[in-house]
Structure 1
Amino acid sequence: MKIALLGYGKMGKVIERIALERGHEIVLKKDESNSFEGLSTADVAIDFSVPTAAVDNISNSFNANVPVVSGTTGWLEHYDEMVALCNEKQSGFISSSNFSLGVNIFFELNEYLAKIMSQFDSYNVSMEEIHHTQKLDAPSGTAISLAKGVIENSAYAKWTLEEAKKDEIFIEAKRIGDVPGTHTVTYNSIVDSIEIKHTAHNREGFALGAVIAAEWLAGKKGVFTMKDVLNLK
C-alpha cells in the first residue's frame, strides 16, 4: 500500500517506520517545507500534523481522491465540513483523537462504566490527562472523547477546565516532560473511589493503530471510526 504522511514530526517518523516494517511504501512526507506533490499516487493519507494544517491536509487529500486517516486534534470545529467534502468526493475518512488499540478499548470501558455509575448519584466523576510539554491543545482530544463518552451515558451535560458545577465533568490537563499520554477517569464519593486509567509507554501504540486503520480504510468509501476498524460496535 502507498501511504502519504501528512505531518512528519515525531509521530510521523514512528508511523513511517511501522508502515515500512509492515511492507508499505511512503510516497509523500509532508511538512511545512514542501508541497503535496506525490499525494495523488497514494492509496491512503495519514495525517498527524498540527491543528492549523489539518483541514488543508485533509481537503487536499479528498480532492486528490485519497482517503484519510487523521489523528490530529484541535481542529474539530471543521469536522462536519470535512465529512461533507469526504461524502461529496466519495472518499473514505477516519478521524480519531487516539488510534491506540488500548485507548480504544479504554473508551469502551469508560462508556460501560458511565452507564453503571449513572445509577448512583453519590459519585462525582472527574478526569486527569497528562501529556508532554509540546502538545499544543489542552485538554487532549482523548480526554474530550472520554468526557463525551460519559456525557452520552449519564446526566452530565459538559466538561470544564474550571471548577465543576453539578452537571459538569472537571478535566485537569497537565503538561509534563516527554509523557506520551496518561488518562484517568475517577468516580469519587464520601466512602470510596473507583478509577480506570490508561498509560501509554511510548508512541508506538498510536502509530501502529493509525497504520492498522489505514490498512482497513484502503478501498472503502464513507466516514468511519475506530469502533468500525476494531469491530467494537
Structure 2
Amino acid sequence: MDSTHSTDLWDRVFATQPDPDLWLVVVTGVVALAAVVPRGVWLVTRNAITIAHEGGHGLTALLSGRRLDGIRLHSDTSGLTVSRGKPTGIGMILTAAAGYPAASLLGLAGAWLLAAGHITALLWGATALLAALLVMVRNAFGLLTVVVTGAAFVLVSWLTGPAVQALFAYGVVWFLLFGGVRPAFELQRRRRLGGAADSDADQLARLTHLPAVVWLGFFHLVSLCALTGGGRWLLGL
C-alpha cells in the first residue's frame, strides 16, 4: 500500500463526521431499548452482550499477565473464559470482575467516540476487537456468533454511507449501554432464587472476602453510571 492510499485510509477512519439529527439518536435509543426489554427478543440479542462479557474477561486476563486458554460462547447466551495463572491475587480478581462491566464500559467508550464525531473509527475499532476475540474462541457456535457480528460491522463500514453508519453506530452503542444494565439484575434474581452459586460475584466474594452483594452493587453502579454518562454524551447534553 503506497503512502497516498495509506493517507486516504487514515483520513477515512479517523476523520470526524457531522453529528446526526437528534431524532436519529432518539429513535436508535428506542430501538435498542426494544432489543433489551422484551424477554423473547433479549434471549437472542443477549448473545452480543455475552461476547462483550467474555471478551472483558479475556482481555483483562491478558493485561494482568495471565495466560488465556480460550473463550466459549454458548447458544443459551452463557459463556466461559478459561485462563491460567495464580488462582488468587489481583490478576484473578481483575479478571473475574471484568465481565459484567465490559459491555457498559464499551458502550461508554463508544458514546465518547460518537460525541467526538468518530463514527467510522468506532466501527473499525469494534471490528478489530472482534477479530482479536475470534482468535481465542474455541467452539463452533462462538465462532459463528463472532463472525456474523464482525461481518455486520465490516459491511456497514465499507458499503454504506454516513447516514447508515450513524444509524448503525448509535444503535450499537445504545444497545451496549442498555444491555449492560440487565445482566446484573438477572444475576441478582438468580442468586435470590438460590442459583448461580459459582457466578462472577460469588467467585469474587471468595477471592476478596467481600460479600457477593457488594460485587453485585459494583456491577450495578458501573452499568447505571455508564448508561447515564453515555446517554448524556449521545444526546449532546
Query: Is the TM-score greater than 0.5?
Result: no
Name the structure, 1 or 2, with higher relative contact order (CA <8 Å, separation 6+). 2
* Higher helix content, 1 or 2: 2
Report the TM range for the smaller structure's normalisation. under 0.3
TM-score for the superposition, normalised by structure 2: 0.24
